[in-house]
Amino acid sequence: MAKPIEMLVDRLATPIGELLIVADRAGNLRTIDWTDHEARMRQLLDRQYGKGAYTLGTARDPGGLTRAMRAYFKGDLAAIDSLPVETAGTPFQRSVWRTLRRIRSGGTISYAELARRIGKPKAVRAAGLANGQNPISIVVPCHRVIGSDGSLTGYGGGLPRKQWLLEHEGALPA
């Protein structure tokens, strides 16, 4: 049996709730979620890595990730652009998540555009599902995907948080 992946958890108070930041020992961001969705985060980790395939400990600022997230929330939007991430997920999901990282702060795209950018223009729903299963919100900016009509749709942290993030980044008027 393989040795469990050691993951370290830190918490960060933000203007829109407390954030859980989970990194591996190498400093790669594994997941981010809101403390009011901690049970969902644990289910996601179980699904991605398997029950018993990881451990969760606590650490202050693992890999400098908490410091970068704090800077982002204080207005340094570029602070999160090059953070190292490591995800499980299918090859299709990982292709969607890589594409999300290419959406610039202050910009948005539609689900149809997301599907087109991964080279599967007919896979709008599948791209939307992969977007919704993104384990690293904010850094892998699933909040930057909106409806074709410009509406704010779907965000695991809730639409008020999605709106705040887009306003914070200048993608929506405040």
- The H or E element containing residue 173 is none
DSSP-derived secondary structure for 59-113: -SSGGGHHHHHHHHHTT-GGGGTT--B---S-HHHHHHHHHHTTSPTT--EEHHH
Catalytic annotation present for 142: yes
Q: How many CB atoms lie within 10 A of CB 55?
A: 11
- 109 in Cβ contact with 52 (< 8 Å): no
Q: How many CB atoms lie within 10 A of CB 164?
A: 19
In angstroms, the Cα distances linking 74 to 41, 81, 142, 158 are: 25, 15, 20, 21
* From 142, 145, 165, 166, active-site residue: 142
Catalytically annotated residues: 142
